[in-house]
Amino acid sequence: MAGPVVVSLARGCGRQAGATLVELVMTIVIISIAIAGVVGAFALIAGRSADPLNQSRAVALSQLYMDEILAQKYADSSPVGGGEVSSVNADCGAAIGPEGSESRDTYDDVDDYDELSGASPQNSEGDPLTGYSGFLVSVSVVCAGTDPDIDFSDSYQAKRIDITISDPSGNDYLFSAYRGNF
């Protein structure tokens, strides 16, 4: 004859399955920190996403101004068709800058652009340029003999043109060129 059969009604025999409340809270905190880091990185990247566009616009704008300036005569006394100007007539020193009440549309030599500062972008006739809102243009012209990086025996042989473009983000871009006395 067979022995008695024992039936156990206890359910929780063995290991416990599932997660405790503490484990769930810890998981939520760790995932939240990770998500905050990723969102912060995206925000930093998104904040600077316009920089390449602003840089290319600054280059185009400086090229426009530089082409206009370099196409002008070296000095007021430069002969038609070019030619060297003597040191007396080279417009170096106090003579740099526009003569009298000259405006941008009447500038006729390189150093007339010297006092152009913090101006909104315009073409040579003074009309505003579209697509450049928030940009500012400043121009500085000095005789190259005052440049400590270049050794010219005569200060009137070249003029350095510095164009600074400020973009809407507050970045400044400096472009320089030399215009020789010929």
pLDDT in tens, 114-139: 888 877 898 888 888 998 999 999 99
Residues found in the chain: 182
Contact 115, 137 (CB under 8 A): no
Is residue 1 scored above 60 in pLDDT?
A: no
- Name the token pair of 164: 């600074």
Lookup: tokens for 20: 């405790």
Which amino acid belongs to residue 13? C
pLDDT at residue 139, as a whole number:
94
* Contact (CB, 8 A) for 165 and 60: no
The one-letter code for the residue type at 59 is V
- Please state, in angstroms and as integers, the Cα–Cα distance from residue 149 to each residue in 30, 91, 144, 156, following that order: 56, 21, 9, 16
CA angle, 163 as apex, 146 and 79 as ends, to 5°?
65
More confident residue, 88 or 168: 168
Q: What is the pLDDT of residues 34-50, one digit of tens each?
A: 999 999 888 887 766 77
Q: What rounded mean pLDDT belongs to the chain?
A: 81
pTM over 0.85: no
In whole angstroms, give the CA distance from residue 17 to residue 63: 71
Query: 49: which DSSP letter?
Result: T
CA gap 115, 3 in Å, rounded:
114
Domain boundaries, the chain: 20-49, 51-180
